[in-house]
Amino acid sequence: MNGFPLVVLGVALFALAYVLWQVRSRIGVITAAVDRAFRTIEDGITNNMLGPASPFTGVVTSVDGSFRTIGNGLTQNMLGPGGILATTTQTLNSARDLFYQAGNDIHDTRIMVAQDIRKIVTDSETILQDVGDPLDDAGTWLNDIGNGIDIDIAGARPFHDLAQPFRDVGDTCSDVGGKCLEAKGKLAQVSGKLLDAAAKLDALKTGADGIGGQFGSLSQYTNTTFRNGVTASVNDLEQARASLDQLFTGLRNGVTASVQELELARNYLDSQLLLIVDQRIIAALSGAGAVLIATGVAIGL
């Protein structure tokens, strides 16, 4: 039997042990380089993602602050007691009350025109009628007296001067009576116009009430539907902010876990490198090589 292969294998084991012994002298440099590489990656992730002054933290803070600023702005400037919605609602309510009050005032004016003023006019018509007719009758009667006195006697009118005052007074009575009746007719026209004015006032009141109702509807819409819409938007913004915070937290936790995994990987690699160049392994390789060489020599080359 030829022992040469055993000798060659033994020499190879000796050579491997020598190489490992040489590597062991430099293993500190290798592990230090590996540690630096891993720590560079870990520090880069930590400083850029996890640190309080990292850009990622700045982005998270900025996004969160922006959402809070928008939400607080809407809450204070739109929904707050001194916000736009409260001011607008108050203004619309004031306008509504103003037009409703105007409608009530117009209605009161309509009652005054249609009843009180028109009653004065109709009463005045009655008075003028009661005065005008007797005066007109008195004028006719006085003229008749004057005409009865101013008779023609033998071609002369001896009582003409006596009759003339009756005629003058009669004409005056007729004239005043006619004017009273004429005024009564004009007052009748005024009475009709007052009824027209009352009808127009009714229309104005209806219009004022309608505008007041529109302002009331706007006020109700502003203080309910629109307010609810803004409130929903604020809630949606808060939910979006909470979702982003949860997303950023999950991302941060994932990065933290990755850094921990890198640390474990670095420690494992260091242990494996140290295990490769363990003195016991070198000694075992050397011993195995010596046994193989001795065995091969004993068998014979």
264 within a domain of the structure (yes/no): no
Q: What are phi and psi of 220, to 5 degrees?
A: -65, -40
277, pLDDT greater than 60: no
Q: What is the pLDDT of residues 88-145, one digit of tens each?
A: 888 888 888 888 898 888 888 888 887 778 788 787 778 877 777 787 777 788 777 7
Q: What is the pLDDT of residue 195?
A: 79
235 within a domain of the structure (yes/no): no
Instruction: Label residue 206 by pLDDT band (50, 70, 90).
Output: confident
100 within a domain of the structure (yes/no): yes
216 within a domain of the structure (yes/no): yes
Percent of the chain with pLDDT over 70: 68
Domain count, the chain: 1
178, pLDDT greater than 70: yes
80 within a domain of the structure (yes/no): yes
Q: What is the pLDDT of residues 133-173, one digit of tens each?
A: 787 777 788 777 777 776 777 667 676 777 777 777 777 88
Choose among 134, 160, 131, 132: nearest CA to 148: 160
261 within a domain of the structure (yes/no): no
Q: What is the pLDDT of residue 106?
A: 86
Q: What is the pLDDT of residues 211-257, one digit of tens each?
A: 888 888 888 888 888 888 888 888 888 887 777 778 777 777 777 77
Structural domain range at position 73: 4-225+276-299
Rounded to the nearest 5 degrees, what angle is found at the Cα of 212, between the Cα atoms of 210 and 195?
A: 55
139 within a domain of the structure (yes/no): yes
Q: What is the pLDDT of residue 151?
A: 73
Choose among 85, 87, 58, 88: nearest CA to 233: 85
Instruction: Label residue 47 by pLDDT band (50, 70, 90).
Output: low
Q: What is the pLDDT of residue 183?
A: 81
Question: Rounded to whole angstroms, how far apart are CA atoms 128 and 238?
Answer: 81
87, pLDDT greater than 80: yes
Percent of the chain with pLDDT over 90: 0
Q: What is the DSSP string of 47-106?
A: IIIISTTSHHHHHHHHHHHHHHHHHHHHIIIIISTTSHHHHHHHHHHHHHHHHHHHHHHH
Q: Are 181 and 137 in contact (CB under 8 A)?
A: no
Question: Which helix (H) or strand (E) is 18 found in, with range?
Answer: helix 4-45
Residue 50: count other Cβ atoms within 10 Å of its Cβ.
Answer: 15
36 within a domain of the structure (yes/no): yes
Q: What CATH number is given to the structural domain containing 210?
A: 1.10.287
